[in-house]
Amino acid sequence: MLSSSALRAQLTADKLAKKIEYKGRIHYMEELYMTRPEALMNILSLQDNSDETIFIIGHNPGLTELGNRLIKEDFTKLPTLGVLAINLDIEKWEEIGEGLGHVDFFIHPKQFKYYMPKQIRTTWDQRERT
C-alpha cells in the first residue's frame, strides 16, 4: 500500500487498511503528494514484482489522470474516497504503460459501507493466493 504523506491521505490509508484487515506495510511517500501521472507510473514501475496488488492513496487530478492513461475506457473523475481497481496486462511492474489496463471495479464513496470492504478484501485475498 502506497500513500501520500499528506495527513488526510495517511488517515485514509490507515482506515482502509484496518477495514480490509490489511496486515502489510503502508509506505507513506512525499512523492505521491500532488504528483503527475508520469511520476506515478514511474513509481509503480519501480515496485517489487512479488507485489501483485498495489493500492495507491493519493490526490487528484493525478490519480484520475493515471487511471485514464492506464485503462482503455474514459474514466471521468475519481471522486474523493472513490476506489478504482485496475487490472494491468503486465508481468512485471517495469512494463507498466498507457492503455495496458482495464477496470476491475469502481466503488463510489456512497457505496463504501455496503460494498468496499468486502470487494477489496475479496480482491486482495484472491491476489495473495496467486
Cα–Cα dist 27/23, whole Å: 13
DSSP string covering 10-45, please? HHHHHHHHHHTT--S--EEEGGGTT--HHHHHHHHH
Whether 8 maps to a domain, the answer reads yes
Q: How many domains does the chain have?
A: 1
Q: What pLDDT sits at residue 116?
A: 54
CATH code assigned at 97: 3.40.50.1240
Expressed as residue numbers, the domain containing 99 is 2-124
Whether 63 maps to a domain, the answer reads yes
User: What is the residue-level pLDDT of the chain in tens, covering all 130 positions?
Assistant: 999 999 999 999 998 898 888 889 999 999 999 899 999 999 999 999 999 999 999 999 999 999 999 997 777 888 888 889 999 999 999 999 999 999 988 888 877 666 655 556 555 555 444 4
Whether 129 maps to a domain, the answer reads no
Residues 6 or more apart whose CB falls under 8 angstroms from that of 72 comprise 99, 101, 102
Whether 6 maps to a domain, the answer reads yes
Whether 90 maps to a domain, the answer reads yes
Please state the pTM of the whole predicted model: 0.82
Burial (CB < 10 A; 0-12, 13-18, 19+), residue 99, is: exposed
Whether 42 maps to a domain, the answer reads yes
Please state, in angstroms and as integers, the Cα–Cα distance from residue 108 to each residue in 7, 12, 44, following that order.
22, 15, 24
Whether 29 maps to a domain, the answer reads yes
Whether 19 maps to a domain, the answer reads yes
